[in-house]
């Protein structure tokens, strides 16, 4: 992506549906033989990967409109999720819970490493075992079986895990008796996902608190469900707006899903005003204030908005520190930002950022999804021209990014690689 920096963003951006709700929602189609209709599904590479995996498993998938999918698992072909699919998108491990719970067996490739950290799925496996599945690991595959079904129980997560909680929900909804997930993730995507499962006939309560209770039911039925707006997309464009000293209306967002983030944005000099169904964002003062953050599980500051925030702090009026508590290697955007003139020092899980007057455009390389968009924001505020390479990272999580930003006055062009 070639970006000519310097413009202040101005206009309106329609926020797309949430990637991190769409992925588990699509996997939930495995839990019933009836059609599951999902609307406001973003057109992303990760959604296409999930469609390919579900198609391989035997789920019928069709686009009923540009942003709606109808998925129907009425004749499954296999309970194996092969390495080729899982290595492309680790959220494929969300096939484990529903395959085990409805079909009594699942063979899912281990996802392997990830750029941002080890990202084990040991807690997913432990949860399935606690619910009564036999699990072996061989040849890089998780082989889980529960020929007589699963038995509800307490499943304790020493670390709260978003997809771990979602996988366990899908395993428990058809288990015999009552299950409780202790130290459950409370992210809005998890809460909405539990709401989706309840719409399909599940009996889940307590979602959004650390203890979720699931009463097993005989079977689930189809449903129609609208995917909520992507709160990480909202935060990303809010940061881009404040960084470029712009003024943008972010349409379709739920401010309550971002309260920690919005508090920090305000402290850093941003202003946001709820306006019918969205928020108007702009910079409320000349300077960007240096404000330190620590990422945490919800409702703390989201790790998925850490890289974008670092870019904002590179031009703040002083020094700030950014501590990444969720993933052990999520600062790979820092060296690339330094190539654009940023002053960042990394020490273990903490980055110290000393604001500079200006960034200057350069050739940079994306390393993961959120790092890639932090480099785009840097290109928007830098003087001169920036080229961001390896856009496949970006396309995993942002729908029509350059269209949305160019409509707000950015000067961006996608070059052939
Ligand atoms: C989800 O990943 C999101 N992905 C991530 O978004 C997000 O960064 C993350 O939650 C944290 O909010 C989806 O929802 C598809 P975790 P997930 O399990 O579920 C450790 C993006 O940019 N852990 O909550 O994989 C893990 O290593 C992506 O959109 C174990 O050790 O994250 C991490 O340090 C990136 N063992 C911590 O827990 C396990 O079995 C939290 O991870 C599971 C997790």
Domain contains 337: yes
At 262 the pLDDT is 98
Locate the ligand 1 atom nearest the alpha carbon of residue 91 and give its number. Answer: 15
Cβ count within 10 A of residue 111: 20
C-alpha–C-alpha distance, residues 256 and 259, integer Å: 5
Mean pLDDT value of segment 377-399: 97
Confidence class for position 171, pLDDT limits 50, 70, 90: very high
Q: Is there a single domain that holds both residue 202 and residue 325? A: no
Question: 379 and 288, same structural domain?
Answer: yes
| Atom 38 of ligand 1: nearest residue by CA position | 161
Does 286 share its domain with 143?
no
Residues 160 and 253 in one domain: no
Q: Which of 16, 17, 18, 20 maximizes ligand 1 atoms within 8 Å of its Cβ, making it the mutation to test the pocket?
A: 20
Residue whose CA lies nearest to ligand 1 atom number 22:
304
Domain termination site, one of 219, 240, 266: 219
Q: Are residues 85 and 122 in the same domain?
A: yes
Q: Which atom of ligand 1 is nearest to the CA of 122?
A: 40
Sheet with strand 203-205: strands edge to edge: 154-156, 178-182, 211-215, 203-205
Contact (Cβ atoms closer than 8 angstroms) between residue 182 and residue 155? yes
Q: Indicate the DSSP class of residue 11.
A: E
CA dist 342 and 214 (Å) reads 49
Which ligand 1 atom is at minimum distance from the Cα of 117?
27
Please check the confidence at residue 101 and state whether its pLDDT lies above 90.
yes
Helix 45-57 vs helix 19-27: angle between axes, to the nearest 10 degrees?
Answer: 0
DSSP SS3 for 133: coil
Which of 72, 73, 114, 408 is the catalytic position? 114
Identify whether 225 is part of a domain.
no
Catalytic, 114? Answer: yes
Whether the Cβ atoms of residue 298 and residue 186 lie closer than 8 Å to each other = yes
Residue 138 lies in a domain: yes
How far away, in angstroms, is 74 Cα from ligand 1 center? Answer: 30
Is residue 341 located within the same domain as residue 278? yes
417 pLDDT band (50/70/90 cuts)?
Answer: low
Give the range of the structural domain holding residue 366, as residue numbers without chain letter: 2-16+230-413
Distance 90 CA to ligand 1 centre (A): 10
* Residue 43 and residue 10 share a domain: no
Indicate if 33 and 12 belong to the same structural domain.
no
Q: Whose CA is nearest to atom 15 of ligand 1?
A: 20
> Residue 224: inside a domain, yes or no?
no
How sure is the predictor about 377, in pLDDT bands with cuts at 50, 70 and 90?
A: very high
* pLDDT tens digit sequence for 36-70: 999 999 999 999 999 999 999 999 999 999 899 99
Residue 70 lies in a domain: yes
124 closest CA partner among 97, 99, 90, 86: 97
Pocket of ligand 1 from Cβ distances under 6 Å? 19-20, 23, 91, 117-124, 159, 161-164, 185, 303-304, 326-327, 369-370, 397
Q: What is the pLDDT of residues 10-21, one digit of tens each?
A: 999 999 999 999
Residue 369 pLDDT > 70: yes
Residues 273, 179 within the same domain: no
pLDDT attached to residue 276: 84
Contact indicator for 91, 79 with CB cutoff of 8 Å: no
Residues 178 and 311 in one domain: no
Q: How far apart are the C-alpha atoms of 170 and 11, rounded to whole Å?
A: 41
Let me know whether 8 and 40 are in one domain: no
Mean per-residue pLDDT, 221-236: 98
Residues 328-362 pLDDT 10s: 999 999 999 999 999 999 999 999 999 999 999 99
The average pLDDT across 79-95 equals: 95
**How many domains does the chain divide into?**
2
Give pLDDT, residue 47: 97
Distance from the alpha carbon of residue 415 to the mean position of ligand 1, in angstroms: 32
Q: How far is the CA of 91 from the centre of ligand 1 (A)?
A: 9
CATH of the domain at 162: 3.65.10.10
Among candidate residues 167, 190, 219, the one where a domain is terminated = 219
The whole-number pLDDT of residue 66 equals: 87
Q: How far apart are CA 257 and CA 269, in angstroms?
A: 20
Domain limit, last residue, from 169, 186, 219: 219
In contact, 219 and 32? CB cutoff 8 Å: yes
Q: Is 7 helix (H, G, I), strand (E, B) or coil?
A: coil
pLDDT of residue 14: 97
Same-domain check for residues 210 and 194: yes
Is 256 contained in some domain?
Answer: yes
| Residue pLDDT, tens place only, 114-124 | 888 888 899 99
Using an 8 Å Cβ cutoff, are 15 and 279 in contact? Answer: no
CA distance 43 to 56: 19
């Amino acid at each position: 992506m070639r970006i000519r920096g310097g413009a202040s963003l101005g206009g309106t951006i329609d926020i797309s549906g949430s990637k991190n709700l769409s992925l588990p929602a699509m996997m939930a189609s495995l839990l019933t033989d009836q059609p599951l209709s999902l609307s406001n599904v973003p057109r992303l590479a990760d959604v296409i990967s999930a469609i390919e995996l579900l198609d391989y498993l035997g789920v019928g998938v069709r686009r009923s409109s540009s942003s709606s999918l109808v998925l129907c698992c009425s004749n499954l072909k296999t309970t194996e999720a092969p390495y080729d699919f899982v290595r492309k998108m680790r959220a494929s491990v969300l096939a484990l819970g529903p395959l085990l719970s409805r079909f009594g067996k699942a063979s899912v490739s281990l996802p392997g490493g990830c750029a941002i950290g080890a990202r084990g799925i040991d807690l997913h496996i432990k949860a399935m075992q606690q619910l009564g599945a036999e699990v072996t690991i061989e040849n890089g595959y998780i082989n889980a079986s529960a020929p007589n079904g699963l038995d509800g129980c307490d499943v304790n997560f020493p670390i709260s895990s978003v997809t771990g909680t979602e996988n366990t929900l899908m395993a428990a909804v058809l288990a015999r008796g009552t299950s409780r997930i202790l130290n459950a993730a409370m992210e809005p995507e998890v809460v909405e996902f539990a709401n989706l499962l309840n719409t399909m006939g599940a009996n889940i309560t307590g979602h959004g608190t650390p203890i979720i209770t699931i009463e097993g039911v005989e079977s689930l039925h189809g449903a129609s469900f609208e995917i909520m707006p992507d709160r990480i997309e909202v935060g990303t464009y809010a940061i881009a707006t404040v960084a470029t000293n712009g003024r943008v209306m972010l349409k379709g967002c739920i401010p309550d899903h971002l309260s920690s983030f919005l508090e920090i944005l305000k402290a850093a000099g941003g202003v946001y005003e709820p306006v019918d169904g969205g928020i108007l964002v702009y910079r409320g003062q000349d300077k960007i204030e240096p404000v330190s953050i620590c990422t945490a599980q919800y409702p703390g500051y989201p790790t998925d908005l850490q890289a974008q925030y670092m870019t904002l702090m590179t031009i703040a009026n002083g020094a700030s520190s950014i501590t990444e508590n969720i993933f052990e290697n999520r600062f790979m955007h820092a060296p690339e930002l330094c190539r654009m003139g940023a002053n960042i020092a990394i020490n273990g899980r903490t980055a110290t950022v000393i604001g500079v007057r200006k960034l200057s455009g350069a050739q940079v390389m994306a390393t993961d999804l959120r790092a890639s968009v932090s480099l785009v924001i840097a290109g928007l505020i830098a003087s001169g021209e920036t080229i961001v390479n390896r856009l496949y990272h970006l396309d995993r999580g942002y729908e029509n990014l350059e269209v949305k930003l160019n409509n707000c006055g950015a000067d961006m062009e996608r070059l052939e690689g």
